[in-house]
């Protein structure tokens, strides 16, 4: 395709994504379905440009105010993540000159919000919690793409065997620093055709998400509930930890999300998983299991702000009002899920959010209202699950993962044991 035609398509995709009326990945997928003629490299250039723009949207929008021509074309030029020579072939002399001038601006000379690229309502609580130096480290890391983490399905393979199979396919994978089940890959190689993937030997799962399953630590023969199972990444990890024994209920209000679990479940070799769509957290199915469950994981619906390296559009699509609504939902779901836990059983509340409002505040309110649940120190539970350097992962007794400290998505998890 001619460079100018591809740049114009990029500007068109930017216009669609910048409406922020749907998740960016859905908008990008729909665009590519509409433009089937695009090759793999062209798709990668467009997608990576769009995600780079979303990560540093405030900076690029500010820089694009100068220059002439359509704004979305200027944004595409500034955020371009394809070949430089290809971009050069699309630009006229005036555009080339403008781009050189703008790229020569020292980012350190820009005002803070154009450097951290976070909305004020999100930047302020993070700065207050982390302090100046750490806040800027976090902001820098959130503007970079995340690595690709895999969880090894220990029903089928040892970690070293999976690593060797990836190596044989030309993919270098290093053990994750904390999870004993994880492998980390730089870049985005195509895994879905590899035998190690199609046979269920590995699943894509962030190391932080693996640690949530390790914190719940289900055992053989137990009754376990994944209360907000979604597409089932943690469900699969829990089922493998149970060595395919006992009963693992995967509940979710979305049948569409549970449908996405089915092919993953088939690959995994698990037969102890029972997916079930529920109407709400007080569903009849929940009532029937009250007081019978050994371990309950509540990976609650949340803002997703811990995943900004993967989903940078969330910082522009979320709002303080949305977080307040989520907090009310989180309280209700946690209180309902707690009723399932039998005496001596374990309850874990988790989010992939960076905000105290969705994390410590919800956990503290639950603890105060439920004295029959004893807080379980996360470092002790993780150390028992063979997690390396578990103490580095815990703040005030709860799991607290930060992208800039731990190279995972941002996660929080608090654990309790119900009094016998």
3-state secondary structure 274-293: EEEECCCCCCHHHHHCCCCE
CA distance 204 to 246: 24
Longest CA–CA span in the chain (Å) reads 76
Alpha-carbon dihedral angle through residues 262, 267, 273, 276, given to the nearest 10 degrees: 0
Phi and psi based region of residue 213 (left: phi greater than 0; alpha: psi -120 to 50; beta: remaining):
alpha
CA distance 196 to 194: 5
CA distance 125 to 242: 39
Cα distances from 14 to residues 113, 251, 315, in angstroms, run 21, 36, 17
Contact predicate 376/415, CB 8 Å? yes
Nearest to 99 by CA among 75, 123, 131, 119: 75
Active site residue 352: yes
Nearest to 299 by CA among 190, 414, 136: 414
Q: Which residue in the list 10, 228, 302, 352 is annotated as catalytic?
A: 352
From first CA to last CA, the distance across the chain in angstroms is: 68
Nearest to 400 by CA among 384, 385, 414, 415: 414
CA distance 263 to 251: 17
β-strand pairing of 174-175 with 373-376: unpaired
Tell me the CB-side half-sphere exposure of residue 319, using CA atoms within 13 A: 5
CA distance 208 to 404: 13
Query: DSSP secondary-structure letter at 55?
Result: H
**Non-local CB neighbours of 309 within 8 Å, separated by 6+ positions:** 141, 142, 144, 145, 146, 403, 409
Query: Which residue numbers are catalytic?
Result: 352
């Amino acid at each position: 395709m001619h460079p100018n035609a591809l740049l114009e398509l990029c500007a068109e995709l930017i216009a669609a994504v910048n409406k922020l009326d749907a998740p960016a990945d859905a908008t990008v997928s729909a665009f590519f379905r509409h433009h089937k003629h695009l090759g793999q490299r062209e798709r990668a250039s467009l997608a990576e440009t769009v995600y780079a723009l979303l990560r540093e949207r405030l900076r690029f929008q500010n820089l694009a105010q100068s220059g002439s021509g359509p704004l979305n074309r200027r944004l595409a030029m500034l955020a371009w993540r394809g070949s430089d020579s290809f971009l050069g072939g699309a630009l006229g002399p005036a555009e080339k000159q403008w781009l050189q001038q703008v790229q020569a601006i020292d980012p350190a000379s820009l005002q803070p919000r154009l450097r951290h690229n976070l909305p004020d309502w999100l930047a302020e609580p993070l700065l207050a919690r982390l302090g100046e130096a750490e806040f800027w480290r976090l902001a820098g890391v959130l503007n970079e793409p995340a690595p690709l983490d895999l969880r090894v399905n220990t029903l089928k393979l040892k970690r070293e065997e999976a690593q060797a199979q990836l190596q044989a396919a030309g993919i270098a994978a290093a053990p994750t620093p904390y999870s004993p089940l994880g492998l980390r890959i730089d870049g985005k190689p195509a895994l879905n055709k590899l035998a190690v993937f199609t046979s269920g030997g590995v699943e894509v799962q962030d190391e932080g998400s693996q640690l949530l399953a390790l914190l719940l630590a289900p055992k053989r023969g137990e009754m376990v509930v994944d209360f907000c199972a979604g597409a089932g990444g943690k469900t699969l990890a829990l089922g493998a930890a149970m060595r395919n024994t006992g009963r693992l209920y995967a509940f979710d209000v979305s049948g569409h999300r549970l449908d996405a679990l089915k092919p993953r479940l088939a690959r995994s070799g698990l037969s102890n998983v029972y997916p079930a769509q529920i109407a709400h957290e007080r569903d009849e199915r929940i009532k029937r299991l009250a007081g019978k469950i050994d371990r309950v994981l509540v990976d609650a619906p949340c803002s997703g702000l811990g995943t900004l390296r993967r989903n940078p559009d969330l910082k522009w699509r979320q709002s303080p009002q949305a977080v307040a609504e989520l907090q009310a939902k989180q309280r209700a779901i946690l209180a309902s899920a707690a009723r399932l836990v039998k005496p001596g059983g374990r309850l874990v509340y988790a989010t992939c959010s960076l905000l105290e409002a969705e994390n410590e505040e919800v956990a503290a309110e639950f603890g105060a209202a439920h004295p029959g649940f004893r807080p379980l120190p996360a470092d002790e539970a993780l150390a028992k699950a063979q997690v390396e350097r578990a103490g580095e992962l815990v703040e005030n007794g709860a799991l607290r993962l930060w992208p800039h400290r731990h190279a995972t998505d941002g996660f929080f998890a608090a654990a309790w044991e119900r009094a016998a």
